[in-house]
Chains A and B, each alone.
Chain A
Amino acid sequence: MGNRENGDRPTKADAQALKGHLDVLLLAALEHGPRHGYAVKEALREGSGGRFDLPTGTVYPALHRLERDGLIAGTWSTVDGRRRRTYRLTAAGQRRLHADRGEWRAFAATITKLLEAGAWPATT
């Protein structure tokens, strides 16, 4: 994982944990408007306070996969003489994001509850 100034240093555990949640995070990064690949990666980095700083090159294959699955849609434009592909959430992507977000909240609430002191049933 790359690292930038002013960011918390990401750990291997972060990278491993992120693997299973990359899709929903990419969808969430596009929830409030279209972004191109680098902007998606930067949104993840900034939104996580520098903790999730993915190798930029690996964001693009994931975006292509989400597009093939119909969850996002890409369009080409030209910026400074360069071709730029910008992605937006599709209706299917909105539904998936909503569903995954709900599942995550339920999962995280359960884990948090179990990790809190006093959450476990008393031993018999």
Chain B
Amino acid sequence: MASHHLSHDDPAGYLAGYLDRLARGLPADAVDELADGLTETWRHHIDAGRDPAAAARAATAEFGTPETIIAAFVAHAPGRRIARALLVSGPALGACWGASLITAHAWTWPIPVPAAAGYAVTLLAVAAALLLAATGRRSLRRTRLGAIGGIGIVALDAAMLATTMLVAPVLVWPMAVAIPASLARITLTVRSLPAALAP
């Protein structure tokens, strides 16, 4: 990748090719930083007496494969952590709300069908975004879906809480668990979002 200011001595674009592979999964700033370190490593090997081609091979071997490096960035990504936490906690909260809605006979509530359908579609989209963010290992950008999913979860929780407070004719006992659980999830998710949204 020419923009990484590698030396013209880069043998047959060996290092540039390596950085191009990194750029497929990492943002430009991270690749620039790695390019600097890779060039330093390469020069170290040249200073140790290797020819440029051998030094390039030694430098990339010392760095590790691009896939390993990308996976290490992804493993630490806040978006991935949010996605995993929400996916792990999701079934329990879903069960709480399911029990609440069944016990409260939610199908009798005066909710327009398009609103209910919109909620269901959003829930599916959010779940898909979280799954993608939690399972990818090849792209740091993909983990940003965790932040989008987190925003979606906050919106869905808020909508469910508002609907329950405004529309439900009576509060039923499973809501004593579901409502605090949703409030806690909203709080924890909102606190985690800034890191996941940071560039």
The digit string for A50-91, where 1 denotes a CB below 8 A from any CB of B, is 000001111011101100100000000001111111000000
Interface segment among B61-69, B98-106, B125-133, B178-186: the answer is B61-69
Q: Are A82 and B69 in contact (CB under 8 A)?
A: no
Q: Are A61 and B72 in contact (CB under 8 A)?
A: yes
Q: What is the minimal beta-carbon distance from B59 to any residue of chain A, in angstroms?
A: 8
The digit string for A85-107, where 1 denotes a CB below 8 A from any CB of B, is 10000000000000000000000
Q: What is the interface size of chain A, counting residues whose CB is below 8 A from a CB of the partner? A: 23
Q: What is the minimal beta-carbon distance from A83 to any residue of chain B, in angstroms?
A: 4
Q: What is the minimal beta-carbon distance from A22 to any residue of chain B, in angstroms?
A: 11
A116 within 8 A of B: no
Q: Are B63 and A82 in contact (CB under 8 A)?
A: no
Of B5, B32, B62, the contact of A55 (CB 8 Å cutoff): B62
Chain A residues within an 8 Å CB radius of B29: 83, 85
Q: Are B78 and A57 in contact (CB under 8 A)?
A: no
Q: Are A82 and B32 in contact (CB under 8 A)?
A: yes
- Bound-state CA distance A41–B75 (Å) is 20
Chain B residues within an 8 Å CB radius of A83: 5, 29, 32-33, 35-36
Q: Are A82 and B34 in contact (CB under 8 A)?
A: no
A2 and B75 in contact, given A60-B30, A68-B195 (Cβ under 8 angstroms):
no
Chain A residues within an 8 Å CB radius of B64: 55-58
Q: Which residue of B lies closest to A2 (CB)?
A: B62
User: Which B residues form the contact surface with A (CB < 8 A)?
Assistant: 4-5, 29-30, 32-41, 48, 61-64, 68-69, 72-73, 75-76, 78, 195, 198
User: Which A residues form the contact surface with B (CB < 8 A)?
Assistant: 2, 5, 36-38, 41, 55-58, 60-62, 64-65, 68, 79-85
Query: 25 A-B pairs, CB-CB below 8 angstroms?
Result: A2-B62, A38-B36, A38-B40, A55-B62, A55-B63, A55-B64, A56-B38, A57-B68, A58-B68, A60-B33, A60-B72, A61-B75, A62-B72, A64-B76, A79-B36, A80-B5, A82-B32, A82-B39, A83-B5, A83-B29, A83-B33, A83-B36, A84-B36, A85-B33, A85-B36
